[in-house]
């Protein structure tokens, strides 16, 4: 397997790039999707979250009310640390399981993780960073996802800085333009990813 990291700040368009790479044949291991899986009813992590934070984080449908949970933990370092302690180990185990399942293949495996730079992980053949001006990202998230600007900025403050991500990047995709411009960059990137050296299984 050829292991490629994909990251970007909130609102950068990372999920769009992830989908474009999947359409070209990449196997995507999406940390955000795994988080949603472990936070779904019936999973031990969901039960632990409700026990720790109370019934107010359970939505009308019985699932997790993500906005209520976000309101509870952002701005409260202790609560956020408690949430991470419940969620991160389960997510890490599932990521490891999926990577192991691909280890013997010749697939390009894209590890799509918002906090990849912060994690210090260094076993990837390349790190792709999706970059956009933070204020553009705020505008997009407010307009398209209905998020509150102060909530977006609070989340950004907990991520690596734009400068840190760019300093670590092997490839930078500029998402300040339209989707066609982004797709053209992914088209150019794909053969480069396929030519990268495979992961060392030793």
pLDDT at 101 over 70: yes
The reply to whether 199 and 186 lie within a common domain is yes
The reply to whether 65 and 89 lie within a common domain is yes
* Residue 15 annotated as part of some ligand binding site: yes
- Specify the pLDDT at position 187: 97
Does residue 31 contact residue 38 with C-beta atoms inside 8 Å? no
Of 104, 132, 159, the domain-final residue:
104
- Assign 30 to helix, strand or coil: strand
The reply to whether 121 and 198 lie within a common domain is yes
For residue range 102-134, what is the model confidence (pLDDT) as tens digits? Answer: 999 999 999 999 888 888 888 999 999 999 999
The reply to whether 19 and 98 lie within a common domain is no
* Residue 12 annotated as part of some ligand binding site: yes
The reply to whether 96 and 113 lie within a common domain is no
Percentage of the chain lying above the pLDDT 70 cut: 99
* Residue 13 annotated as part of some ligand binding site: yes
* Residue 59 annotated as part of some ligand binding site: no
Domain range for 52 is: 33-104
The reply to whether 92 and 184 lie within a common domain is no
The reply to whether 80 and 49 lie within a common domain is yes
- In whole angstroms, how far apart are CA 30 and each of 110, 128, 181? 8, 14, 23
For residue range 70-94, what is the model confidence (pLDDT) as tens digits? Answer: 888 877 889 999 999 999 999 999 9
What's 82's domain CATH number? 3.40.50.300
The pTM is what? 0.87
* Residue 9 annotated as part of some ligand binding site: no
Longest Cα separation, the chain: 50
Please state, as a whole number, how many other Cβ atoms lie within 10 Å of the Cβ of residue 190.
17
80 Cβ contact partners less than 8 Å away, ≥ 6 residues apart? 73, 74, 158
The reply to whether 186 and 100 lie within a common domain is no
Q: Where are the beta strands (DSSP E) in 125-170?
A: 126-131
Of 78, 104, 130, the domain-final residue:
104
Identify the burial level of 200 via C-beta atoms within 10 angstroms of its C-beta, where 0-12 means exposed, 13-18 middle and 19 or more buried. exposed
Of 104, 134, 151, the domain-final residue:
104
If one counts the domains in the chain, the total is 2
pLDDT at 162 over 60: yes
pLDDT at 202 over 60: no
The reply to whether 20 and 112 lie within a common domain is yes
* Residue 11 annotated as part of some ligand binding site: yes
């Amino acid at each position: 397997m050829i292991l490629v990291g994909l990251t970007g700040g909130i609102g950068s368009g990372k999920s769009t790039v992830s989908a474009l790479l999947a359409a070209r044949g990449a196997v995507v291991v999406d940390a955000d999707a795994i988080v949603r899986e472990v936070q779904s009813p019936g999973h031990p992590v969901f039960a632990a979250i409700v026990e720790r934070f109370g019934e107010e984080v359970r939505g009308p449908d019985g699932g997790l009310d993500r906005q209520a949970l976000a309101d509870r933990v952002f701005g409260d370092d202790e609560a956020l640390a408690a949430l991470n302690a419940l969620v991160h180990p389960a997510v890490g185990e599932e990521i490891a399981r999926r990577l192991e399942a691909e280890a013997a293949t010749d697939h390009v495996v894209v590890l799509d993780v918002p906090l990849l730079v912060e994690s210090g992980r260094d076993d990837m053949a390349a790190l792709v960073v999706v970059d956009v001006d933070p204020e553009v990202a705020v505008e997009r998230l407010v307009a398209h996802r209905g998020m509150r600007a102060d909530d977006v900025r609070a989340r950004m403050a907990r991520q690596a800085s734009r400068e840190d991500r760019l300093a670590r990047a092997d490839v930078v995709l500029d998402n300040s333009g339209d989707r066609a411009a982004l797709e053209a960059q992914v088209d150019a990137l794909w053969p480069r990813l396929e030519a990268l050296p495979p992961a060392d299984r030793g």
